[in-house]
C-alpha cells in the first residue's frame, strides 16, 4: 500500500500498532521503501491515459478498429484460450504445415529484395540462353554446342537459388526461431513439408516462367543454317512439356538439397557464400575423378574396365547427375536437347535418358528430405534420465529454504515413482546437474549447475537471479530442445554457456545441452523422455527477439496459432483476442523489423502465450529496454502508480 507523505506524522503510530498486532493479523513481516526516481518520473511525465483514449499513433492517425476495449478482449481471449491444442495428430500436422507454407509466402511477399532475385534470376538467365540459342551466337541453332551452352546457362541460373533457400533455413536456426517453433509444438514433419511447399510455390513460378519464355523464344524467327538440326532446335526442346516437368522436379531436388546441406552451416552468410561453390564442386567431383583415372591409367585403364572413352564420358555424366542437383538438371536438359542422342549415335553405350534425370531428382529429393527430417528429429528423441541425489552432508550445507525445497521436490519424485502421480507442480526440476568438460586434457569438469531442485506451482512467477557465471543460462538450456546440430553452432553456443553474462543470450535455450543428471517435468511430462507432450504446456521468450523480420505482428500470431494446432474456425478469434490483450492493435500489420525493441518483446510474449501454455520461460524479458519511454513522448503507463506492482 502507499502511505501518503502528508500523513508522515502518523507513520510512527501506524508502524508501532503494526508491530504490536502482527501476531493477531497473521503478518510474518513487512517492508518499507521509498518511491523510486522512476515512479517520480512516471508521475510527472504526462497523462498517458488521455492519449491512449484518443488513440493517436505515430502518424497521428486513429488506430484501427481492432483495438477494442480491453475488458471485452480479455473476455474473448479467456474464452478462446480454453481451447488450446484442440487438434492433434494428422490434422494438427496439416495445420502446422499450412502455417509454415503461408509464412514462407508472406515473408517472400514482404521481402522483395530476396524473393525477386529468387524468382527473377533463373528466368532472366534462361532468356539470355534462349536468345543466344536462337540467334546462333554460339553455334548454329539446333547444334549440340549451342544446346550445351543453353543447358548449362539454365542450370547456372539456378545456382544463386541454393543460397537464398538455405539462407532462410539457416537464419531460422541461428536466430533460434526454429527452436521456438519446436517448443511451440511444431512437428518436424510439418515443418519440413510446410517449408518445402512454400519454396516450391516460389520455384514453380520461375519454372513456369522459364518454360513460357522458352515457348515464346521458340516461335521467334531463327536464322536457319545449312547444318541446322531440326531435332535439336529450341522449338523441339520446349515441345511436349518435358522441360516443365524437369524444371519442377529439379526445383524440389534443389530445395531439398539446400535443406540437407543447411545443417552444415552455423551462419547464414557463410551458407550464402559457400553453397553455390559447393554445388560447382559437386559437379566437378566426377570430372576430377574421371580426369584422374585417365591421367593415371590412360587408355590401358579404360581397356581394363572394358570401357571406351565415350562410355567413360557417359559414366561421368551419370556421376554428375548423382552428385549434384544442378548437374542433374543440366544433363536432363541436354537429354531433352538431344545431346545424348548424339552420343548414342557415336558409341554403343547406354546414355543417360531423360527419365533417369527425373528418377534421380525425385529419389534424391526424398533422400535429402528424409535426412533433414531425421537430423532434426534426432535432437528430440527421448534421452535417458539419470537421477541425482545430494548426500546428507551436502544437504546440511544448503541454506534452510533451499534444503526444504529439495526435500519437497524429493517427496514429489518419490510420489511420481510410487504412485505415478505428481504433486501438481506445473514445473518441477529435480536434481538438475550439468557438467562441462574442461577444455584442456585432464582438467576437472566445470559444474555449471549443481543439483538444482525446484518446484513451481501454477500461478507462481519465479525469479532466478544469478551472478555472472552462476549457471542460470545453462539451466534454461537444459529445459528445452534444440535443433542446432553441427559443431560450429554448438561450439559458439557452448561459449555462451560457459561465459554467461548480459550479452550471452539464451539462443541455446532449446535442449542444446542435455543435463548430466536430473529430471524436469512440465505439467507431469518429462522434458527428457516425452518432450512432445511437455512442449504443449511450454511457452518461451528468449532474451533476443526471435521473430521473422519480414512477417507482420498478426502473421506471427497466425503462424504460431497454427503451429499450436488451433483450427481455422477459432484462429481469427484467438489472434484478435491476443492482439487486443497485448495492445498490439495499432501495429498489427507492421513488419517485425520495423517494430521498436519493446514492441518486439511484447510480440515475443504474445507469441509465447498463443495456445495458452501453463509454463512460460522468460529470459531477461526487459533486456535492452529503457525504464520509461524516451522523451518527448510521455511515459507509457502512469497507471502503474495507481496499481501497485
Partner 1 sequence: MFVVRVQVSRRNLWNTLINTMASRSVVLTTHSMEEAEALCTRIGIMVKGQLHALGTPQHLKQKFGSEYLVEVTLGPARGAATNDPERAARIGATLLEAFPGATLLSDKGGLLAFRVPRGSFRVGAAFEALEERKEILGITDYAVAEPTLEQVFVRVVTEVTSLAEASRAAASRGGGGDGDEPRTTGTLSPGTASSAAQGNSAASNVATRRDGSDLDTGIRKTWLGLDRRALRSVALYMGLFCLACYIAIVGFDMGFVFFPFVAALFFCILGCLGCCCVLPSDPDDADND
**612 to 641, contacts with partner 1 by CB under 8 A?**
613-622, 625-630, 633-637, 639-640
**Least distance (Å) between residue 268 CB and partner 1:** 19
Q: Which of residues 185-244 bind partner 1 (CB under 8 A)?
A: none
582-611 residues near partner 1, rule: CB under 8 A: 582-583, 586, 596-599, 601-602, 605, 609
CA dihedral of 362, 364, 365, 367, whole degrees rounded to 10 = 120
Q: For partner 1, how many residues bind (rule: CB under 8 A)?
A: 159
Buried b (16+ CB within 10 A) or exposed e, 240-260: eebbbbbbbbbbbbbbbbbbb
**CB nearer to partner 1: pick between 37 and 113:** 37
Which of the stretches 17-25, 134-142, 146-154, 269-277 binds partner 1 when contact is defined by CB under 8 A? 17-25
Cell of 486: 553441427
487 binds partner 1 (CB under 8 A): yes
413 binds partner 1 (CB under 8 A): yes
Whether the ω angle into residue 440 lies within 30 degrees of 0, i.e. cis, is: no
Q: Which of 82, 391, 503, 569 binds partner 1 (CB under 8 A)?
A: 391
Contact pick of 239, 280, 316, 395 for partner 1 (by CB under 8 A): 395
- Nearer to partner 1 among residue 247 and residue 476 (C-beta): 476
Options 449, 510, 534, 571; binder of partner 1; rule CB under 8 A: 449
Strand partners, 519: 430
Q: Mask 502-541, x = binds partner 1 (CB under 8 A)?
A: x---x-----xxxxxx------------------------
Q: How far apart are the C-alpha atoms of 160 and 200, rounded to whole Å? A: 16
CB of 161 to partner 1, least distance (A): 24
Residues in CB range of 298: below 8 A, 6 or more apart: none
For residues 323-362, which are near partner 1 according to CB under 8 A? none
Look at strands 517-522 and 425-436 and give their pairing: antiparallel
Q: Which range in 186-194, 199-207, 343-351, 387-395 contacts partner 1 by CB under 8 A?
A: 387-395
Tell me which of 26, 345, 463, 569 binds partner 1, using CB under 8 A. 463
**Closest distance between partner 1 and the C-beta of residue 627, in Å?**
5
Residue 643, CA atoms < 13 Å, CB-side half-sphere:
4
* Residue 11 binds to partner 1 (criterion: CB under 8 A): yes
Q: Check binding of 160 to partner 1 (CB under 8 A).
A: no
Which CB atom, from 134 or from 449, has the smaller least distance to partner 1? 449
Question: Which residues sit opposite 425 in a β-bridge?
Answer: 457
For the CB of residue 51, give the shortest distance to partner 1 in the complex, in Å. 5
Select from 240, 445, 589, 593 the one that contacts partner 1 (CB under 8 A): 445
Q: Could you say which of 107, 110, 264, 357 contacts partner 1 (CB under 8 A)?
A: 264
From 145-153, 156-164, 328-336, 452-460, give the range in contact with partner 1 by CB under 8 A. 452-460
Q: Please say which residue, 129 or 553, places its beta carbon nearer to partner 1.
A: 553
| Nearest-approach distance from CB 295 to partner 1, in angstroms | 6
Restricting to residues 127-146, name those near partner 1 by CB under 8 A. none
Give the full edge-to-edge strand order of the sheet including 425-436: 446-457, 425-436, 517-522, 525-526
187: Cβ contacts below 8 Å, ≥ 6 apart: 92, 93, 96
Site string (31-50) toward partner 1, x via CB under 8 A: xxxx-x-x---x-----x--
Hey, CA dihedral for 400, 404, 410, 413, is it positive or negative? negative
Is residue 389 close enough to count as binding partner 1 by CB under 8 A? yes
- Is 53 near partner 1 (CB under 8 A)? no
Q: How far apart are CA 515 and CA 548, in angstroms?
A: 30
Residue 552 makes contact with partner 1 by CB under 8 A: no
Cα dihedral across residues 323, 328, 334, 339: positive or negative: positive
Site for partner 1 in 271-310 (CB under 8 A): 292-293, 295-298, 301
Q: Is residue 192 a contact partner of residue 369, using CB atoms and an 8 Å limit?
A: yes
Q: Residue 127 has which C-alpha cell?
A: 532468356
Nearer to partner 1, 391 or 569 (CB): 391
CB of 181 to partner 1, least distance (A): 20
Grid cell in block for residue 572? 481469427
Write each residue from 93 to 132 as x if it is in contact with partner 1 (CB under 8 A), else as -, in one continuous string: ----------------------------------------
378 lines the binding site for partner 1 (CB under 8 A): yes
Rounded to whole angstroms, how far apart are CA atoms 517 and 384?
9
CA distance 112 to 349: 48
Residue 62 C-alpha cell reads as 486513429
The set of long-range contacts for 75-80, using a CB threshold of 8 Å and a minimum separation of 24, is 76/573, 76/576, 76/577, 76/580, 77/574, 77/577, 77/578, 77/580, 77/581, 79/573, 79/577, 80/570, 80/573, 80/574, 80/577
Please, what is the minimum distance in Å from the beta carbon of residue 363 to partner 1? Answer: 18
CA-closest candidate to residue 326, choices 377, 287, 284, 374: 284
CA dihedral over 196, 199, 205, 209, signed as positive or negative: negative
Residue 359 or 410 with smaller CB distance to partner 1 = 410
Amino acid at each position: 500500500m502507499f502511505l501518503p507523505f502528508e500523513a508522515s506524522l502518523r507513520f510512527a503510530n501506524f508502524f508501532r500498532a503494526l508491530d504490536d498486532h502482527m501476531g493477531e493479523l497473521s503478518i510474518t513481516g513487512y517492508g518499507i521503501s521509498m518511491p523510486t526516481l522512476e515512479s517520480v518520473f512516471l508521475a510527472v511525465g504526462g497523462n498517458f491515459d488521455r492519449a491512449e483514449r484518443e488513440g493517436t499513433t505515430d502518424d497521428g492517425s486513429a488506430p484501427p478498429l481492432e483495438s477494442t476495449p480491453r475488458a471485452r478482449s480479455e473476455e474473448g481471449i479467456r474464452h478462446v484460450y480454453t481451447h488450446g491444442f484442440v487438434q492433434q495428430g494428422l490434422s494438427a500436422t496439416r495445420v502446422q504445415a499450412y502455417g509454415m507454407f503461408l509464412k514462407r509466402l508472406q515473408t517472400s511477399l514482404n521481402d522483395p529484395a530476396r524473393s525477386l532475385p529468387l524468382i527473377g534470376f533463373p528466368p532472366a538467365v534462361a532468356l539470355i540462353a534462349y536468345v543466344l540459342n536462337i540467334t546462333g551466337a554460339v553455334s548454329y541453332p539446333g547444334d549440340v554446342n549451342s544446346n550445351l551452352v543453353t543447358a548449362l546457362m539454365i542450370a547456372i541460373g539456378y545456382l544463386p537459388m541454393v543460397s537464398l533457400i538455405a539462407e532462410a533455413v539457416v537464419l531460422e536456426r541461428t536466430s533460434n526461431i526454429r527452436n521456438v517453433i519446436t517448443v511451440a509444438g511444431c512437428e518436424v514433419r510439418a515443418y519440413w513439408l510446410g517449408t518445402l511447399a512454400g519454396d516450391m510455390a516460389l520455384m514453380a513460378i520461375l519454372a513456369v516462367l522459364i518454360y513460357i519464355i522458352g515457348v515464346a523464344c521458340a516461335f521467334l524467327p531463327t536464322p536457319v543454317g545449312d547444318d541446322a538440326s531440326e531435332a535439336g532446335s529450341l522449338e523441339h526442346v520446349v515441345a511436349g512439356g518435358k522441360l516443365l516437368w524437369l524444371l519442377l522436379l529439379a526445383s524440389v531436388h534443389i530445395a531439398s538439397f539446400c535443406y540437407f546441406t543447411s545443417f552444415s552451416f552455423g551462419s547464414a552468410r557463410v551458407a550464402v557464400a559457400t553453397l553455390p561453390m559447393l554445388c560447382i564442386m559437386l559437379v566437378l567431383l566426377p570430372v576430377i575423378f574421371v580426369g584422374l583415372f585417365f591421367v593415371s591409367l590412360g587408355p590401358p585403364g579404360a581397356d581394363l574396365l572394358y570401357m571406351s572413352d565415350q562410355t567413360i564420358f557417359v559414366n561421368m555424366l551419370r556421376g554428375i547427375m548423382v552428385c549434384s542437383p544442378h548437374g542433374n538438371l543440366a544433363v536432363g536438359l541436354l537429354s531433352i536437347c538431344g545431346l545424348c542422342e548424339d552420343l548414342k549415335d557415336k558409341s554403343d553405350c547406354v546414355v543417360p535418358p531423360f527419365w533417369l534425370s527425373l528418377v534421380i531428382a525425385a529419389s534424391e529429393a526424398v533422400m535429402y528430405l528424409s535426412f533433414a527430417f531425421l537430423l532434426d528429429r534426432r535432437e528430440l528423441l527421448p534421452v535417458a534420465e539419470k537421477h541425482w541425489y545430494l548426500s546428507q552432508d551436502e544437504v546440511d550445507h544448503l541454506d534452510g529454504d533451499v534444503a526444504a525445497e529439495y526435500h519437497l521436490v524429493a517427496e514429489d519424485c518419490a510420489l511420481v515413482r510410487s504412485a505415478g502421480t505428481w504433486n501438481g507442480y506445473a514445473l518441477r526440476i529435480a536434481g538438475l546437474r550439468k557438467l562441462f568438460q574442461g577444455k584442456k586434457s585432464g582438467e576437472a569438469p566445470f559444474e555449471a549447475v549443481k543439483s538444482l531442485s525446484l518446484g513451481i506451482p501454477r500461478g507462481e512467477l519465479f525469479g532466478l537471479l544469478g551472478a555472472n557465471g552462476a549457471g542460470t543460462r545453462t539451466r534454461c538450456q537444459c529445459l528445452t530442445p534444440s535443433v542446432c546440430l553441427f559443431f560450429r553452432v554448438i561450439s559458439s553456443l557452448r561459449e555462451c554457456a560457459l561465459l554467461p553474462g548480459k550479452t550471452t543470450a539464451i539462443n541455446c535455450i532449446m535442449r542444446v545441452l542435455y543435463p548430466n543428471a536430473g529430471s524436469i517435468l512440465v505439467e507431469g511430462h518429462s522434458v527428457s523422455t516425452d518432450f512432445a507432450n511437455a512442449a504443449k504446456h511450454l511457452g518461451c521468450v528468449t532474451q533476443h527477439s526471435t521473430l521473422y523480420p519480414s512477417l507482420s505482428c498478426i502473421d506471427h500470431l497466425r503462424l504460431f496459432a497454427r503451429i499450436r494446432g488451433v483450427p481455422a474456425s477459432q484462429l481469427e478469434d484467438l489472434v484478435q483476442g491476443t492482439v487486443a490483450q497485448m495492445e498490439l492493435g495499432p501495429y498489427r500489420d507492421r513488419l517485425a523489423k520495423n517494430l521498436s525493441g519493446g514492441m518486439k518483446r511484447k510480440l515475443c510474449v504474445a507469441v509465447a502465450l498463443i495456445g495458452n501454455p501453463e509454463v512460460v520461460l522468460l529470459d531477461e524479458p526487459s533486456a535492452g529496454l529503457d525504464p520509461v519511454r524516451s522523451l518527448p513522448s510521455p511515459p507509457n503507463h502512469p497507471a502503474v502508480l495507481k496499481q501497485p506492482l
